[in-house]
């Protein structure tokens, strides 16, 4: 079992729709969870971080964390073509290293 798993996609949504990205992790001691966005040929860019159970909203982005289920998700409301990218889930594990999932490629169709 991989330490951090994401639905591999690719995921396509129409412009204006909600995109839902999911991630599960295996290390129960994990405390910090991050979502990074990576455009093709670019480096990962931090877009959201979450540490407590529940929802955290930042503009069109909402991160959701459920530690009991070891699940973290990212919702993108009113999706725009500029949101088309690969989204990486990252987990700060028990050894305090940062482990990434394999990413979900999102395409927002105009």
Partner 1 sequence: DARVTQTPRHKVTEMGQEVTMRCQPILGHNTVFWYRQTMMQGLELLAYFRNRAPLDDSGMPKDRFSAEMPDATLATLKIQPSEPRDSAVYFCASGFWGINYGYTFGSGTRLTVV
Query: Is the Cβ–Cβ distance between 2 and 93 less than 8 Å?
Result: no
Report the candidate in 44, 45, 49, 97 with the shortest Cα–Cα distance to residue 72.
49
94 part of the interface to partner 1, by CB under 8 A? no
- The binding track of 21-40 with respect to partner 1, each residue x by CB under 8 A or -, is ----------xx-x-x----
- Quick one: which segment of 12-20, 65-73, 76-84, 87-95 binds partner 1 (CB under 8 A)? 87-95
53 CA to centre of own chain: 15
Binding residues (CB under 8 A) for partner 1: these are 31-32, 34, 36, 42-46, 49, 51, 88, 92, 95-103
């Amino acid at each position: 079992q991989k330490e951090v798993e994401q639905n591999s996609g690719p995921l396509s949504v129409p412009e204006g729709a909600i995109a839902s990205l999911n991630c599960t992790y295996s290390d129960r001691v994990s405390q910090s969870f991050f979502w990074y966005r990576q455009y093709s040929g670019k480096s990962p860019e931090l877009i959201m971080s979450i540490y407590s159970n529940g929802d955290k909203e930042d503009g069109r982005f909402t991160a959701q964390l459920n530690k009991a289920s070891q699940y973290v998700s990212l919702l993108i409301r009113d999706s725009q073509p500029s949101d088309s990218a690969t989204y990486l889930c990252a987990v700060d594990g028990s050894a305090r290293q940062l482990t990434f999932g394999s990413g979900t490629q999102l395409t927002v169709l105009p």
